[in-house]
Structure 1
Amino acid sequence: MTDNNTTLSNPYLWDKPRPRFFITGSRGFLGHYLSAYFHKQGYYVFESHAFHLRIDIPSNLEQVLMRLKPDLIIHLAAFHRWENPSDQERALKVNVEGTANLLDIAELLHIPVLFISTDQVFDGRKDQVYSEKDPVNPLSYYGRLKVRGEELIQNAELPAYWILRLAPVWSEEVHIPYTRQNFLAGIVRAFEGQSREWPATIYGGLIHREMVAQTIDGLFQRGKNGIYHLASDTSLSYFEQARYMARFLGPSKELIADTIRASSPPPRNFRMNTEKITRTLGITIPTFEEDVKKWLRKE
């Protein structure tokens, strides 16, 4: 396991004119955006789907990575459904076995890895915000698999690693592919007839995808190994955040707001402390309300 005090002063990791990023899960909502974002930054970006790779079938993964020689693997690939036994088996194969396959090759080729995790590694029972030092206790199957992925990363012999735990991610683009996991897209789909409820008793600050991209870049350039939290600051529940977003959605905003229904599951708090990442990278994370005002045009 790599020393947690290692930083990216190692020229192997960043002293190159154009970093080379390999992104798993590059067809997903976040992976698609990160690929485009880092392309615009002038980086070389290699998308896993362009090579027809599946991390749960590693037969040609080593060969591809050996040829590409990326400076960083951004590991996003994950299976999100677990409603029935076949889904759970598939999720285990991709989220855990696939991660282990990828790490075996990253160890062999000495490639740093940034692993995208989730606030769902916590049980939501804490009254205060969660820090990176708080013990994990996931209640969902997805959260349990992410914890296993985190453990694999921390115990791998890598030149560097980062675990980035994210709150739910959103984007202003809702009518393009890759948006199934976009919080805002869910609101619009509800308006278009796909009924859905938002929990009024669950709290956590949604984060815009651009902030995720900027944070990943910052961690690669100068972040120490370890676990980091990324979320916006807000006192609103998921239901209240959905209603707040609806106010900015144009002429149909009142009709859209009417489609947002509250549910009342057991109270949970997934708010995360972001002091570590702001201190490490010297950044300011906008509040949820500031981000909505920035990205959505109010009529």
Structure 2
Amino acid sequence: MVQKQALIMDMRLKTRVSGNRVGSMKILVTGANGQLGRELVKVLSAHHQVIGCTRNELDVTDLSKARDIVQEARPEIVVHTAAYTHVDQAEADQDRAFLVNAYGTRNMTVAAQQAGAKMMYISTDYVFDGRSTKPYREYDFVNPVNVYGKSKLAGEDMVKTLSDKYFIVRTSWVYGRHGSNFVKNMLRLAETRTEIDVVCDQVGSPTYAPELAWFIKELLESEKYGIYHVSNTGACSRYEWAKAIFAAAGLGVTVRPVDTAKFLLPAARPAYSVLDYMAIRLNGFSTLRHWRTALTQFIDELRSI
């Protein structure tokens, strides 16, 4: 009990309060140290009261702790970004992937529902099998081809079953300043290589984390519940994305297109996971910028650090 009270007090101290703005809400964000979590805390705290919980502060796999923390904090919205994201490792660690992504999501959804809070769950394009030849709409058939995708889809099912006020945001190929991601990995490889092999048979849409965070803020401030596909517009292969990264950074790296099969990875990947934005269009929201525009901004920001 003492440990629980100390944790809750620590959370209170970390709550970012934006003042007494009209319409300001209290929002609890899980996975606050993650790539998207950090951007969300930054964006939301400029307008709302935000409690950002890291993995050490809130173990989402513990239902009792999740309930206690949410009940004490009494947020109006729970944004659940915490996740098991090791796609290849999940193939050999299925129990852990489902514990975090399915049952951890159940725990946060139950806690949010009991507190009367809106529930926001961040999902993935990997719920699709990649056999389509046109962008996936929100209510197209789902059929994940790897454990990670299956565990995230199980999380979606938990949210839809247990919450009466939920948003599910499926996104793809997220990158930004924080954490590990494709853009930063390509730039790191370019420090020691002049030629890089990149797969050309995986097609999707890159998503710039700060823009995703701003869209989530707009969505949370509404009551237009449901499933949304959110990424920067346009599509490319990872090979094309890598070429664009090096061009934007002014790096003379030769990118060689190769098939995914060359890398012999444990987890299968959807060959095509481009998302269609039907829910954004029909609910009156604005789509994100083209992925090339966002990428150029990100590279420019990295240069200024």
The equivalent residue for 1:49 is 54
The equivalent residue for 2:125 is 119
Q: 5+ unaligned residues in a row in structure 2: which ranges?
A: 1-20, 262-269
Contact 1:219–1:281 under 8 Å retained in 2: no
The equivalent residue for 1:295 is 298
Q: 1:241 to 1:51 in 2, by over 3 A?
A: closer
RMSD: 2.5
Structure 1 residue 46 displacement after superposition? 0.7
Q: 1:21 to 1:289 in 2, by over 3 A?
A: same
Query: Matched residue of 2:41: which SS?
Result: helix
Equivalent-residue separation in structure 1 for 2:91 and 2:275 (angstroms): 31
Contact 2:138–2:278 under 8 Å retained in 1: no
Contact 1:223–1:281 under 8 Å retained in 2: no
> What number of residue pairs does the alignment pair up?
272
Structure 1 residue 284 displacement after superposition? 3.5
The equivalent residue for 1:88 is 94
Q: 2:185 aligned with 1:186, yes or no? A: yes
Q: 1:223 to 1:84 in 2, by over 3 A?
A: closer
* Deviations 1:187-241, CA, capped at 9 Å, x for gaps: 1222245997532011111111122112111111225211110122324211101
The equivalent residue for 1:244 is 244
Q: 1:157 to 1:84 in 2, by over 3 A?
A: closer
Structure 1 residue 19 displacement after superposition? 1.2
Query: Matched residue of 1:142: which SS?
Result: helix
Q: How does 1:17-36 map to 2 (within 5 A)?
A: 17-36=23-42
Structure 1 residue 58 displacement after superposition? 2.9
Contact 1:106–1:113 under 8 Å retained in 2: yes
* Deviations 1:135-165, CA, capped at 9 Å, x for gaps: 100001111011111111111143x100000
Q: How does 1:109-148 map to 2 (within 5 A)?
A: 109-148=115-154
Q: 5+ unaligned residues in a row in structure 1: which ranges?
A: 1-14
Query: Matched residue of 1:296: which SS?
Result: helix
Contact 1:222–1:281 under 8 Å retained in 2: no
Q: 1:269 to 1:59 in 2, by over 3 A?
A: same
Q: TM-score scaled to structure 1, two decimals?
A: 0.83
Query: Which stretch shows the higher mean deviation, 282-291 or 213-222?
Result: 282-291
The equivalent residue for 2:198 is 198
Q: TM-score scaled to structure 2, two decimals?
A: 0.81
Contact 1:204–1:231 under 8 Å retained in 2: no
Contact 2:91–2:146 under 8 Å retained in 1: no
Q: 2:71 aligned with 1:66, yes or no? A: yes
Name the % identity: 25
Q: 1:223 to 1:203 in 2, by over 3 A?
A: farther
Query: Matched residue of 1:23: which SS?
Result: strand
Contact 1:223–1:280 under 8 Å retained in 2: no
Structure 1 residue 185 displacement after superposition? 1.0
The equivalent residue for 1:286 is 289
Q: Which amino acid aligns with 1:268?
A: A
Equivalent-residue separation in structure 2 for 1:85 and 1:122 (angstroms): 17
Q: Which amino acid aligns with 1:74?
A: V
Q: 1:229 to 1:63 in 2, by over 3 A?
A: same
Q: 2:259 aligned with 1:264, yes or no? A: yes
Q: 2:149 aligned with 1:154, yes or no? A: no
Structure 1 residue 294 displacement after superposition? 3.3
* Deviations 1:171-194, CA, capped at 9 Å, x for gaps: 2x3xxxx421x2211112222459
Q: 1:56 to 1:34 in 2, by over 3 A?
A: same
Contact 1:218–1:281 under 8 Å retained in 2: no
Query: Matched residue of 1:268: which SS?
Result: coil
The equivalent residue for 1:78 is 83
Contact 2:59–2:65 under 8 Å retained in 1: no
